[in-house]
Amino acid sequence: EAGVAQSPRYKIIEKRQSVAFWCNPISGHATLYWYQQILGQGPKLLIQFQNNGVVDDSQLPKDRFSAERLKGVDSTLKIQPAKLEDSAVYLCASSASRDHTYNEQFFGPGTRLTVL
Amino acid sequence: KNQVEQSPQSLIILEGKNCTLQCNYTVSPFSNLRWYKQDTGRGPVSLTIMTFSENTKSNGRYTATLDADTKQSSLHITASQLSDSASYICVVSSMDSSYKLIFGSGTRLLVRP
């Protein structure tokens, strides 16, 4: 079974530029998550999709961040314009959501963003 | 406020030695607690998942314990190997409508030869 795929793996941009990340979840997984992980911290949930609908985006800075999962499969996360404090690893995860008790999430390798 | 706190922040041990990582949480209502291992440059990988009724769970040389009364968990690593060098993240799932995961900041373990 293929894991969660993310691209690019690394991205360096200057502040005020735009950037987009792509995630392809495990086949058949209905739930997709985007996390932001700042160095030395645990991941912070940015947005959660159930199929193509948003379940939770309470911690997404909506003035600059946007995400979509139009067909309920792969997803893109965009930052426009980027700030220095956006430097972090952006992790995508997916889960089958068949068992809420365990809700096993499988993570991709992440995209490391550096904003100069 | 739902929080997960881990200690120590970092740890250095010699290969072959045992170690124990600690996790305290204030998440309510509690659903389950999991330990993840995160190698440098990779996403977290689940080691164990425990529900309220489970006190201990093992995965090879990793053994997790859970005391739901005191809201504490520990991860014990036996006979450490160089490949155990990673960050270990304690994560608690809240039994809310979306079963949100609350992440600790992790313990960074370095195993030296």
User: Is A41 within 8 Å of chain B by CB?
Assistant: yes
B41/A42 Cβ within 8 A? no
Residues 6+ apart with CB under 8 A from A93: A4, A25, A32, A33, A35, A105, A106, A107, A108, B43
pLDDT digits (tens, 9 = 90+) for A70-79: 888 999 999 9
Half-sphere exposure of B42 (CA within 13 A, CB side): 14
Alpha carbon distance B92, A44 (integer Å): 13
A43/B44 Cβ within 8 A? yes
For residue A105, which residues of chain B lie inside 8 Å, CB to CB? 46, 101
Residue B29 per-residue DSSP state: S
Q: Which residues of B touch A (CB under 8 A)?
A: 4, 31-32, 41-46, 49, 51, 89, 91, 93, 98-101, 103-106
Instruction: Give me the tens of pLDDT residue by residue for chain B, a chain 113 residues long.
Output: 889 999 999 999 999 999 999 999 998 888 899 999 999 989 999 999 999 889 999 999 999 999 999 999 999 999 999 999 999 999 998 877 566 788 999 999 999 99
pLDDT at A14: 97
Residues 6+ apart with CB under 8 A from A2: A26, A27
- Would the pLDDT of A99 be above 70? no
A103/B42 Cβ within 8 A? no
Q: Which residue of chain A has the CA closest to B102?
A: A44
pLDDT digits (tens, 9 = 90+) for A11-40: 999 999 999 999 999 999 999 999 999 998
For residue A93, which residues of chain B lie inside 8 Å, CB to CB? 43
